[in-house]
Amino acid sequence: MVIYFSGTGNSKSVAMQMAKATKDNVKSITDMDGTINLQQGEYLGIVIPTYFYWVPSVVKEFLENVKIECSEDVYIYCIATCGGTSGQASQMVGKLLKKKGKCVNAYFDIVMPDNWTPMFNANNLEEISRVLEKEKPQIDRIVEHVLRKENGNFVKHKLPFTLAKMASLLYEPSRKTSHLHVESQCVGCGICEKNCPVKAIEIRDGKPVWVKDKCTMCLGCLHRCPAFAIQYGKNTKKHGQYNHP
Ligand X SMILES: Cc1cc2nc3c(=O)[nH]c(=O)nc-3n(C[C@H](O)[C@H](O)[C@H](O)COP(=O)(O)O)c2cc1C
Q: Contact positions toward ligand SF4, by CB under 6 A?
A: 7, 182, 186-192, 196-198, 200-201, 203, 208, 215-221, 225-227, 229-230
User: Distance between CA atoms of 63 and 94, rounded to whole angstroms?
Assistant: 10
CB of 39 to ligand X, least distance (A): 27
Q: Which residues contact 126 (CB under 8 A, 6 or more apart)?
A: none
Residue 181: CB atoms within 10 Å: 13
57 binds, among ligand X, ligand SF4, none (CB under 5 to 8 A by kind): none
Beta bridge partners of 204: 207
CB of 6 to ligand X, least distance (A): 3
Residues at the contact surface with ligand X, assessed by CB under 6 A:
6-12, 49-53, 81-85, 87, 112-116, 217-219, 244
Instruction: Decide whether 7 or 45 has the Cβ nearer to ligand SF4.
Output: 7
Q: Which residues contact 34 (CB under 8 A, 6 or more apart)?
A: 62, 65, 66, 67
Instruction: Decide whether 75 or 210 has the Cβ nearer to ligand SF4.
Output: 210
190 binds, among ligand X, ligand SF4, none (CB under 5 to 8 A by kind): ligand SF4
201 binds, among ligand X, ligand SF4, none (CB under 5 to 8 A by kind): ligand SF4
CA distance to 9, 33, 98, per residue, from 156 (Å): 21, 33, 22
